[in-house]
């Protein structure tokens, strides 16, 4: 949906994205988490997309930023503004918004040629050394030699930012050269692996490239061609 919105708007337009997001849930029959429910209620009460966000501390709001990184990989200012606005629409929590900023900066540096672990350390020192994110980053980096399932169990398997953030850093640091192993071990660690996997896949994908994704993972995606077509349209228009 975010990719479709970016293509339609030639960039990120939070009002257009919000319309698509709300339209989805009119016919959606799956699980609705607290952040989504609260955001939908805020929209229903008349709040606009910049006021609608829940107070949820879940990493999920900051985890869905890869399309924005792809669109704005040549404009750091627009990238940072868009990831924070997109996150705040549903997760208006300072730590979650900071996490979107953090991982956007990390991925930006990786696309510029830095290794993921080096980028994580640099972003921490440059922007977040005195913050909670800085503390969580240090814990994640320090844990990279540990057994993933034990480490994530210790950090916490939930989607809450204080649990998921250091777990993401652990996965990136431990499996810096192996995207598929990182994602498999993430799932095997249990809990809310989806949000963690979105961020890990984005950062390691930026580092290792398209070829690091197992072919069978791609061939099994029902909307694979649609996603590729959207990415190609963005590339041709903005990243020739």
| Per-residue pLDDT tens digits for 62-98 | 999 999 999 999 999 999 999 999 999 999 999 999 9
pLDDT of 240 strictly over 80? no
**Residue 220 in contact with residue 227, Cβ under 8 Å?**
no
CATH code, 100: 1.10.4080.10
Which residues span the domain enclosing 186?
Answer: 2-238
Burial class of residue 216, CB neighbours in 10 A (0-12, 13-18, 19+): exposed
pLDDT of 10 strictly over 70? yes
Q: pLDDT, tens digit, for every residue of 146-168?
A: 999 999 999 999 999 999 999 99
CA 180 to chain centre: 17
Domain count, the chain: 1
Q: What is the pLDDT of residue 238?
A: 87
Q: At what angle do helices 161-174 and 179-188 cross, to 10 degrees?
A: 140
């Amino acid at each position: 949906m975010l990719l479709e919105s970016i293509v339609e708007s030639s960039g990120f337009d939070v009002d257009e994205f919000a319309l698509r997001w709300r339209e989805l849930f009119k016919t959606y029959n799956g699980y609705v988490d607290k952040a989504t429910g609260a955001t939908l209620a805020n929209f229903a009460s008349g709040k606009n997309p910049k006021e609608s966000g829940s107070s949820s501390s879940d990493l999920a709001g900051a985890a869905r930023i890869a399309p924005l990184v792809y669109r704005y990989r040549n404009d750091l200012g627009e990238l940072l503004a868009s990831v924070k606005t997109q996150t705040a629409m549903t997760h208006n929590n300072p730590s979650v918004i900071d996490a979107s900023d953090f991982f956007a900066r990390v991925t930006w540096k990786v696309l510029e040629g830095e290794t993921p672990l080096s980028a994580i350390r640099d972003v921490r020192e440059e922007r977040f050394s005195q913050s909670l994110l800085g503390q969580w980053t240090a814990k994640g980096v320090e844990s990279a030699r540990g057994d993933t399932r034990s480490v994530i169990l210790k950090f916490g398997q939930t989607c809450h930012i204080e649990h998921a953030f250091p777990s993401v850093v652990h996965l990136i640091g431990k499996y810096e050269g192996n995207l598929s192993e990182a994602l498999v071990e993430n799932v095997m660690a249990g809990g809310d692996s989806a949000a963690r996997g979105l961020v890990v896949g984005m950062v390691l994908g930026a580092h290792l490239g398209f070829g690091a994704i197992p072919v069978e993972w791609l061939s099994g995606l029902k909307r694979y061609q649609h996603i590729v077509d959207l990415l190609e349209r963005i590339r041709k228009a903005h990243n020739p």
